[in-house]
Amino acid sequence: MRLFSEQSRKGGLRLAAVLVLGLAVFAGAALSPEAALAQATRGDVAQESPTGGTVPGNALGAASDAEIWRQVRQGIQGTVSIPDAKAGQLIQSEGESWRAWRNGPLSTFGGWALLGMIIALALFFALRGRIKIDAGPAGRTVERFNAIERFAHWLTAVSFIVLAITGLNLLYGRYVLLPILGPEVFSAITIAGKYAHNFIAFAFMLGVAMMLVLWLRHNIPNRYDLIWLSKAGGLFSKGVHPPSKKFNAGQKVIFWAVVLGGFSISLSGISLLFPFEFKMFEGTYATLNAFGAGLPETLTPMQEMQLSQLWHTIVGLFLIAVILAHIYIGSIGMEGAFAAMGSGQVDENWAREHHNIWVAELKGEPMPDLRGHGGSGDGKPQPAE
């Protein structure tokens, strides 16, 4: 009797184990992809799952809703419980467009523009040489710029050079410097450059504002500018010196490029310094649409940042190209030009040849010859003493 009970107990355990194993195999088969596919083929899943391929909890079921993913890909905005509402956008498609523009046409054409300017200036120097004072130094000087004017110029110039170098590093550094310096040194230089770029930007803004206040009245276009432009400023011809007041037409172009470009790049820079705080492009697009531009008037905060970064880079590259030409003329390109912003005193013959009307007004002399030959009050250069 006891033996029978023991055998019965063991048999029951074996039966229970077989049943458990059978249930496990059945469940595994039911949950396997092959089984699910077979059931879907028979239509069992369609009968047992809710319509539309969804299951309780608003999660996708066996079928995918193509329209939902299309909207996600196009940047549909959802809601989140965290403070950062931007996290409700699962995919930000414009980010790929921004990356493609920044690393593609913008970097490529910007690099060619800067290289082209350097090559053009080198060729000009090789063909024209240094522009000399035709009458030779007079040995007398006149004050061209006072201390405040020179401070405003050098504040803007030095800060811009720092901004240009650090900005170019952000755009091209990983392609040019990283392979040479290595990741550790390049990282340290780039981080230091980032902080320098952020804080020195305010010095540049101050310098641009000072130049606008100091020189605005001297940079209003006048009739002499047309004569200067028609003769290309005498840059390509020896002995030709078109009439000019304190600033000639070429200098006025530089002035307005720096002021307007500096103002624009400062606005985009402020937008980047204080992210997601401003909607500059949304307002700009709305203004342009009044003239039929057909631009989107509703932009996400991330789109605003991307557009600000692209515009900041475009204007920055443009200003660098312009300032390269300005540096060339103000240094090796023209004899006597650097003294204007160095000591503030320029040779009188230099002043008469390049700014003859200004000298005449400064000294109370008769109106000089406007034909563009010579540089004195009577149309002839002053001999050196």
What pLDDT, in 10s, does the model give residues 45-54? 444 444 455 5
* C-beta separation of 363 from 145 below 8 A: no
Q: What is the pLDDT of residues 258-280, one digit of tens each?
A: 999 999 999 999 999 999 888 88
Mean pLDDT calculated for residue range 216-237:
93
Q: What percent of the chain has pLDDT over 70?
A: 76
Does 30 have pLDDT greater than 90? no
Q: What percent of the chain has pLDDT over 90?
A: 56
Backbone φ and ψ of 124, nearest 5°: -60, -45
Most confident of 90-94, 176-180, 362-366: 176-180
The encoded tokens of residue 268 equal 């985009």
Does 21 have pLDDT greater than 60? no
Q: How many whole angstroms separate alpha carbon 108 and alpha carbon 100?
A: 11
Check residue 19 and give its pLDDT.
Answer: 44
CA dihedral 76, 80, 84, 85 (to 10 degrees): 40
Check residue 54 and give its pLDDT.
Answer: 53
**Domains of the chain by range and CATH?**
112-157+209-284+300-363 (1.20.950.20)
Does 4 have pLDDT greater than 60? no
* C-beta separation of 139 from 169 below 8 A: no
Q: How many whole angstroms separate alpha carbon 246 and alpha carbon 346?
A: 12
Does 370 have pLDDT greater than 90? no
Query: What's the pLDDT band for 364 if we cut at 50, 70, 90?
Result: confident
Q: What is the mean pLDDT of the chain?
A: 82
Q: What is the pLDDT of residues 145-158, one digit of tens each?
A: 999 999 999 999 99
Burial of residue 348, with CB atoms counted within 10 A of its CB: 0-12 exposed, 13-18 middle, 19 or more buried: buried
* C-beta separation of 159 from 199 below 8 A: no
Query: Which residues, at least 6 apart from 233, have a Cβ–Cβ distance to it below 8 Å?
Result: 242, 248, 249, 250
Q: Write the DSSP symbol of residue 90.
A: S
Mean pLDDT calculated for residue range 275-297:
87
Check residue 292 and give its pLDDT.
Answer: 86
Where do we find the tokens 């307007």?
Answer: 260
The encoded tokens of residue 242 equal 């078109």
The residue with greater pLDDT, 63 or 170, is: 170
Q: Write the DSSP symbol of residue 142.
A: E
**Amino acid at position 122, single letter:** A
Mean pLDDT calculated for residue range 318-341:
94
Q: What is the DSSP string of 227-257?
A: HHHHTGGGTTSTTB----SSS-HHHHHHHHH
* C-beta separation of 311 from 270 below 8 A: no
DSSP-based three-state secondary structure for 63: coil
